Amino acid sequence: MDFVDFTKQMKRDYTIIAPDIFPTHMELIEAAFRLYGYKLVVARYEGKQVIDTGLKYLHNDMCYPAICTIGQQIYALTSGDYDPKKCALITFQTGGGCRASNYLMLLRKALKSMGMEYVPVISLSFGRFERYSGFKITLPMLLIAIRALILGDMLLLLKNQTLPYEINKGDTRRLVEKWINELTNQFAHKKGLTGPGMKKNLRAMAKDFHDIPREKKDKTKVGIVGEIYVKYSSFGNNGLEKLLLSQGCEYMVPGVLGFFQYCFANTAVDNKYYGASRLIKLAGRLALDIAGKWENGIDEALRPYPEFVPPVGFEEVRRLSARVIDPGVKMGEGWLLPGETAGLIEKGYTNVICAQPFGCLPNHIVGKGTIRKLREIYPDANIFPVDYDAGASRVNQENRIKLMLAIARERDAV
Amino acid sequence: MKRLGIDIGSTTLKCAVLDEKDKLVFSRYMRHFSRIDQHLSGMLDDIAERMPGEDMAVSMSGSAGMGLAEQVDIPFVQEVYAERVAVKRLNPETDCVIELGGEDAKILFLSGAFEMRMNGTCAGGTGAFIDQMASLMKIDASEMDALAAHSQKLYTIASRCGVFAKSDIQPLLNQGARKEDVSASIFRAVVNQTIAGLAQGRRIEGSVLYLGGPLTYLSGLRQAFDEVLGTEGLCPENSLYYVAMGAAGTGVGKAVSPKELSARLKSLKHTAAYTSCKRLFESQEEYEAFKKRHMEASKGIRETDAPTGEMYLGVDAGSTTVKAVLCDKDGNLLRPLYAPNNGNPVPIIKQYLSDIYDEFPDIFIGGAASTGYGEEIVKNAFRFDGGIVETVAHYTAARRFKPDVDFILDIGGQDIKCFQIRNGAIDSIYLNEACSSGCGSFLQTFAGAMRFTPEEFARLGLFAKHPVDLGSRCTVFMNSSVKQAQKDGAGVDDIAAGLSISVVKNALYKVIRCSSPDALGKNIVVQGGTFLNDSVLRAFEQETGRNVIRPAYAPIMGAYGAALYAMAHATPGRRSGVIDKKGLEAFTHNVTAITCKGCTNRCSLTVNDFGSGRRFIAGNRCDKPLGKGTYNDKRDLYAYKRQLLSSYMNSEPVRGRRVIGIPMGLNMYELLPFWHKLFDSLGFCVITSPFSTRELYVKGQYTIPSDTACYPAKLMHGHMEYLLDRQPDAIFYPDMSYNIDEGLGVNHFNCPVVAYYPQVLKLNMDRLKGTVFIDDFMSLYDRRQFTRRITQVLTKYFPDLKGAGIKAAVKAAYAEYDSYMEAVRKKGEEYLRWAEANQKPVIVLSGRPYHVDPEVNHGISDVICRLGAVVVTEDSLSRLVAPFRVDVRNQWTYHARLYAAAKYIAGLPPEKNVQLVQLVSFGCGVDAITTDEVRRILEGAGKIYTQIKIDEISNMGAVSIRLRSLLSAASEKLRAV
């Protein structure tokens, strides 16, 4: 073995540090991991010192999400909050053709240059590139993690559609906190993650958010798509959601589950185009079926409340995407990105921000490369790519977004 | 009520007052030098005086107005939007607006589907850019405009960002190109940047409106746009005030009197909310001690007043400055010169020499040597005895001050050069890449923008209380960061200190990429003009945590090193061949620009004529125009690959056969033999686009959706246009997630851009809609699966094709590909053997197959051959190593070859002179991973790693310095063995 193993002993007393990739979801993921005996914590560090740490240990042309997330994990080790001798790091690896599949190695390289090569790094992936004696993702664990993500998606969706309209400031935030506590509590008692338990939670969440008094006011509707990290992380996108809120917008960000469904769906395309394993294709279809069922749970829970716009279903995203780009494009966010853009436009979120790291390779294709075609299909679409980078100034980003909003308002006024 | 629109741009401030009938009754335009509050309140007072006591509906716009509007409680109108409002009212017939501002560039498409574009993070080609370029030529923008009117020819200047363009322009100026031609070329670069960066697939046509400062003031720029767009655009009356008028015209303004608003501005309190760094000096005493310590460093070497014995002359003709010095046998200096080169070093050296001859008529010059960008021209013009590569010159000089020096950092006007010394030889060399300057001229530009001399600016920073933390990014980004900091209340002193710190951080973290100061070395010498700035020197010591040596003559160390070199190579008692007093009096210098017609490269040559039949030609990529002919020792695998590929390339359709077109770019550089054979076997006539040229690129640039993609990818648009012009029955360019599996890594992907660029073409090139474009997904790594897939695809487009025929064609195609690769490998091995037998150094010029394209590599392999080395490729060596483990995820076929080639070199015995040079296309994200890994593999085995970044630019000056340094370092290393 040419890497540091994560042993059974470590499972007992090591803290596993994860990057803060999906701010709303990570607390639930933390709790789900705890359920299986792993002490997972999320490195919720932000600010310039985190970026500087990333820049110091990574090639400066490396993608911005790498600089942010690896920066967070390394910063956590040096922050004094943890004993590095009792820590492991964890990262997600898709194994796809974009640079992101290298985060694991880059973390190890960074640790080496810090003289901390003894810190084990765990790769979390579908492909299981490496095996560790004390860490194993079992099927039930995977299912539970995905259910946690779905609950997170629901929470995100309800929050986004309530916050801009709340009459009593703070209602939404308090309710989000309440639900995170409620869910982590349930998880700790092994509840809430079974099929019926989840359904019950979804329904209760919808009801709770519905009960928040809201003003009847038309807001500029903005969709957010893009690279998976900067799309969700306010650290990565300079507080994009806060900016949109302050400008009187309501925004929708498609859920995390879609990305997983996209990965599952690609197994069938690989089979068609390259004759890849039929067994994996079957596994992919099975996973899609299950995810589809859970996805329906969200729709069902939202149905009684017309004020909530349900998310665009995955099959719909897939269908819409095929009008734009070939489903064989599977690196980075691949065909999912234009599919989600089209889905948002169809749901009335005609103003779409495509958040991407500066110089992101797949985004040359699926981001900026597809906008022209999307405008052709949807002449009213108001799509703006916004680049994020350690050096990009917030003023420029804000200015671009304000231009998009100026156009949006003019159209709304007509 | 009158309406007042205020437009605060990145560099200028504009006010417009409209009366009740939308008539412009007042307007004012000025540069704000980042002191916005002060200048705006002055302007408002002025308005209040002219129109006293009136409330106005005020609104604010402009990139710098955003935060301010909020602070003074005035509605903000996004500037592009405001502009559109004004255009709709004043010029309703307009189809398209082009507006250039200080740092912004915008295009508005008004007719048809309405779109607005503005430059994103990667800005260039704007007013500030033009100013910067003008100051490089020591003129102002209006002089540049006047000069451009008399241009005779255009040079290619990279237009992506100012830093790139600078590195194109500087060598041109150094080589003696006419300022008239350079000026016109700069305008053309701005036009190209605007079109490539902003039009993004939409043609600019119809009635075009030009707005903003640069387009208002510079007729040459308007003309350049007219020429490229093939239209005659209109620059309307009040073209500077459209944004301000539009903001006023939106009607969102808030009623307030200008006087009241001015008062609000004056009472604005800025809080220091920006992040700051450690102070440079806490006290005057600390500073004095620091100064004293550095004075000590230069003990033993002094400046003399007159020649003593034989003297040696050294000249360093750098990118922005010329340095010259004479020294005696003991290394004491006489008449050091440090002067801006004003774009041409020749007259400066002429003056220097004639002053020396006047002052010391009896001087005995025993040797003269030159170095730097202008090494050749100076050597030729004044008959110097020799020239040395800059890095060696700097090392030679540094050794005088610190014999055991093991790390040298030189920050000059344009360049950062760092190198490590191991075993008495230059080891790792780091030069700043074209995208990340941030050196001396950068500080100078900022000083100028804030109206200080560089010296004043340096002093300002010393005792700043809260230096701004600006990070380590490139110039373009730095501009906005500085502005942000100013907005947040940073004083000029804090900015001056912050910029000095950022220069150091740039060098340490971007250029050298060190994660700890220990990696640098123990005995550090810093030199170059920038280190005369005590703030920079202090910042460097603080950041690295160690004391360093700064020779008192830091800026002229290159020249000093050249003089020492001349001394070492002189024969005692013999006079140098350097031009004497009489020769100097007869000296003339004429420059003409011509285009070489020797081959298809069409190099832009500058011919320098020094009278009495002495000429120096610059700008050439090969020796042809020099009349030397080609030499027999040339072994260039790049040329060999092109020759092999040429046999598959054909641009003329054959009548009576179905014609299939293949664009010659990206992975086609390797797969052409395969596809050619496949289609040929099936009875098609295959036509291809030619090797890329600049013209081909320009032809396709209007459909590029993402201007930060790599140049090889962006070239594809031109290739497609070329093919479309020939109307083939179909164009074949499949999407390929996977590449050939050579078993070197854990997977065999293509990078996302190579894999899916056909999708980008399909989605963005309207012209493709009229053609059959076969861009289906397929992969070659599994022959059986490929046969299944290609049969499926081809019979879809050509139902008459039969399965059996396709199967046979596939078989033949694989055989053709194998034999092509085999030929390349065989030839590579043959070259290696030849090099060994003839004791020639070998450079493994490593990149991707498409780096063979002459427009992509800018003739770098030729340069290497001219330096006497043999060129082979990474793919000719990669099979010579067994698969091995790397520290990164080895999942891309092309990149796995890089690691393998590095591994092969790492395993060679030290006496073999085989070096790796990695070509990196700007914007290639994957290379952020590969470069560090290739470096690790090589340096782990004590080998030198060299990287060359390439883009649209062809800054062969810097490339040549790097390659010469490498070859001389390698041979010195060999001697040490």
- Same domain? B863 vs B740: yes
Smallest Cβ–Cβ distance between A102 and the set B483, B784, B889 belongs to B889
Structure tokens at B123: 């800005």
In angstroms, rounded to a whole number, what is the distance separating the alpha carbons of residues B635 and B628? 17
Q: What is the CA radius of gyration of chain A?
A: 21
In angstroms, rounded to a whole number, what is the distance separating the alpha carbons of residues A218 and A307? 12
In angstroms, rounded to a whole number, what is the distance separating the alpha carbons of residues B972 and B959? 20
Q: What is the mean pLDDT of residues B666-681?
A: 97
Tally of domains within chain B: 5
Model confidence at B421, pLDDT cuts 50, 70, 90, reads confident
The more confidently predicted of residues B714 and B512 is: B714
Q: What is the mean pLDDT of residues B808-823?
A: 97
CATH architecture of A8-136: 3-Layer(aba) Sandwich (3.40)
CB atoms within 10 A of CB A167: 9
Contact assignment for B515 to A108 by CB distance below 8 Å = no
Compute CA B387 distance to the chain's CA centroid, rounded to the nearest angstrom: 26
Interface of A with B in 136-175 (CB under 8 A): none
What phi and psi, each to the nearest 5 degrees, are found at residue B936?
A: -60, -45
Residue A214 DSSP label: B
**Does residue B921 contact residue B712 with C-beta atoms inside 8 Å?**
yes
Model confidence at A257, pLDDT cuts 50, 70, 90, reads very high
Is the minimum CB–CB distance between A274 and chain B shorter than 8 Å?
yes
Identity of the amino acid at A108: R
By C-alpha distance, the chain A residue nearest B786 is: A274
Of A257-261, B611-615, B666-670, the one with minimum mean pLDDT is B611-615
Q: What is the pLDDT of residues B331-350, one digit of tens each?
A: 999 999 998 776 678 889 99
Structure tokens at B658: 């179905």
Cite the beta strand spans of B271-413 per DSSP E. 303-304, 311-317, 321-327, 333-340, 365-371, 386-387, 407-411
Q: What is the pLDDT of residues B228-240, one digit of tens each?
A: 888 899 999 999 9
**Does residue B667 contact residue B852 with C-beta atoms inside 8 Å?**
no
Identity of the amino acid at A252: M
Q: Is the dihedral of CA A94, A99, A103, A106 positive or negative?
A: positive
* Alpha carbon distances (Å) from B568 to A168, B252, B336, B970: 83, 76, 19, 20
Nearest to B99 by CA among B287, B267, B225: B225
Range of the domain at B611: 588-618
In angstroms, rounded to a whole number, what is the distance separating the alpha carbons of residues B908 and B836? 12
Of A129-138, A190-199, B114-123, the one with minimum mean pLDDT is B114-123
Is the minimum CB–CB distance between B752 and chain A shorter than 8 Å?
yes
Compute CA A172 distance to the chain's CA centroid, rounded to the nearest angstrom: 21
Strands B590-595 and B615-618: unpaired
By C-alpha distance, the chain B residue nearest A101 is: B889
* pLDDT of res. A347: 95
CB atoms within 10 A of CB B332: 15
Contact assignment for B706 to A407 by CB distance below 8 Å = no
Establish whether domains A8-136 and A218-255+311-413 are of one fold. yes
* Closest approach of B287 to chain A, Cα-based (Å): 28
Model confidence at A394, pLDDT cuts 50, 70, 90, reads confident
Structure tokens at B2: 């009158």
* pLDDT of res. B795: 96
Parse chain A into domains and list their residue ranges.
8-136, 218-255+311-413
Q: Is the dihedral of CA B161, B167, B172, B174 positive or negative?
A: positive
Would you call B422 helix, strand, or coil by DSSP? strand
**Helix A314-324 with A368-377: angle, nearest 10 deg:** 90
- Same domain? B770 vs B799: yes
**Does residue A97 contact residue B891 with C-beta atoms inside 8 Å?**
yes
- Same domain? B564 vs B650: no
Residue B951 DSSP label: S
**Does residue B328 contact residue B304 with C-beta atoms inside 8 Å?**
yes
Smallest Cβ–Cβ distance between B888 and the set A102, A359, A385 belongs to A102
> Which of B750, B785, B889, B890 is the mutation pick for testing A, counting most A CBs within 10 A?
B889
- Same domain? B390 vs B250: no
Q: What is the pLDDT of residues B24-83, one digit of tens each?
A: 999 999 988 767 888 999 999 999 999 888 899 999 998 778 888 888 999 999 988 899
Chain position carrying tokens 């789900």: A32
Chain A residues whose CB is inside 8 A of the B923 CB are 359
Would you call B151 helix, strand, or coil by DSSP? coil
**Does residue A68 contact residue A235 with C-beta atoms inside 8 Å?**
yes
- Same domain? B206 vs B68: yes
- Same domain? B765 vs B900: yes
Interface of A with B in 345-404 (CB under 8 A): 358-373, 375, 379, 385-387, 389-396, 398-400, 402-403
ipTM confidence score: 0.94
* Closest approach of A328 to chain B, Cα-based (Å): 7
Strands B254-256 and B303-304: unpaired
Model confidence at A300, pLDDT cuts 50, 70, 90, reads very high
Is the minimum CB–CB distance between B543 and chain A shorter than 8 Å?
no
DSSP-H helix ranges across B201-319: 213-217, 219-229, 242-249, 258-266, 284-296
- Same domain? B387 vs B466: no
Q: How many residues does chain A have?
A: 414
Smallest Cβ–Cβ distance between A407 and the set B81, B121, B752 belongs to B81
Residue B864: inside a domain, yes or no? yes
| pLDDT above 50 (res B435) | no
In angstroms, rounded to a whole number, what is the distance separating the alpha carbons of residues B88 and B114? 12
Identity of the amino acid at B129: F
In angstroms, rounded to a whole number, what is the distance separating the alpha carbons of residues B683 and B393? 61
Chain B residues whose CB is inside 8 A of the A390 CB are 471, 473
Structure tokens at A179: 């639900």
Structure tokens at A208: 């709770």
Q: H or E stretch including A92?
A: strand A87-93
Residues 6+ apart with CB under 8 A from A25: A148, A149, A152, A153, A156, A256
Q: What is the mean pLDDT of residues B674-680?
A: 97
Domain with residue B516: its CATH number is 3.30.420.40
- Same domain? B470 vs B519: yes
Structure tokens at B562: 């050249």
How wide is the angle at C-alpha A202 spanned by C-alphas A197 and A205, nearest 5°? 120
The more confidently predicted of residues B849 and B514 is: B849
Structure tokens at B162: 């100012």
Q: What is the pLDDT of residues B187-225, one digit of tens each?
A: 998 888 888 777 766 788 889 999 999 999 999 999 999
Provide the phi-psi class of B441: left if phi over 0, else alpha when psi is between -120 and 50, else beta.
alpha
Fold of A218-255+311-413: Rossmann fold (3.40.50)
How wide is the angle at C-alpha B65 spanned by C-alphas B64 and B68, nearest 5°? 110
* pLDDT of res. B436: 42
In angstroms, rounded to a whole number, what is the distance separating the alpha carbons of residues B684 and B514? 55
* Closest approach of B428 to chain A, Cα-based (Å): 17
In angstroms, rounded to a whole number, what is the distance separating the alpha carbons of residues B734 and B761? 11
Residues 6+ apart with CB under 8 A from B711: B697, B856, B921, B922, B923, B950, B951, B952
Mean pLDDT of chain A: 91
**Helix A314-324 with A257-274: angle, nearest 10 deg:** 50
- Same domain? B709 vs B775: yes
Contact assignment for B480 to A395 by CB distance below 8 Å = yes
Strands B24-31 and A382-388: unpaired
Identity of the amino acid at A324: V
By C-alpha distance, the chain B residue nearest A269 is: B777
Model confidence at B270, pLDDT cuts 50, 70, 90, reads low
Residue B624: inside a domain, yes or no? no
**Does residue B709 contact residue B924 with C-beta atoms inside 8 Å?**
no
Residue B533: inside a domain, yes or no? yes
> Taking the model in full, what pTM does it have?
0.85
* Closest approach of B926 to chain A, Cα-based (Å): 6
**Does residue A249 contact residue A222 with C-beta atoms inside 8 Å?**
yes
Mean pLDDT of chain B: 87
Ranked by mean pLDDT, the top range of A404-413, B128-137, B513-522 is A404-413
Is the minimum CB–CB distance between B759 and chain A shorter than 8 Å?
yes
Would you call B734 helix, strand, or coil by DSSP? coil
Compute CA A321 distance to the chain's CA centroid, rounded to the nearest angstrom: 19
* pLDDT of res. B648: 96
The string over B391-427, giving b where at least 16 C-beta atoms fall within 10 Å of a residue's C-beta and e elsewhere, is: bbbbbbbbbbbbeebbbbbbbbbbbbbbbbbbeebbb
Residue B156: inside a domain, yes or no? no
Is the minimum CB–CB distance between B778 and chain A shorter than 8 Å?
yes
Contact assignment for A396 to B120 by CB distance below 8 Å = yes
Nearest to A70 by CA among A94, A90, A98: A90
By C-alpha distance, the chain A residue nearest B763 is: A373
| Burial class (CB within 10 angstroms; exposed 0-12, middle 13-18, buried 19+) of B41 | buried
Chain A residues whose CB is inside 8 A of the B889 CB are 101-102, 104-105
Interface of B with A in 145-204 (CB under 8 A): 200-201
**Helix A314-324 with A278-302: angle, nearest 10 deg:** 120
- Same domain? B679 vs B690: yes
Identity of the amino acid at B104: D
Chain position carrying tokens 């977004």: A401
Smallest Cβ–Cβ distance between A369 and the set B735, B763, B923 belongs to B763
Q: What is the pLDDT of residues B742-790, one digit of tens each?
A: 999 989 999 999 999 999 999 999 999 999 999 999 999 999 999 999 9
Interface of B with A in 296-325 (CB under 8 A): none
- Same domain? B348 vs B250: no
Residues 6+ apart with CB under 8 A from A195: none
Q: What is the pLDDT of residues B446-500, one digit of tens each?
A: 787 778 888 888 888 899 888 988 766 555 557 667 777 776 778 889 989 988 8
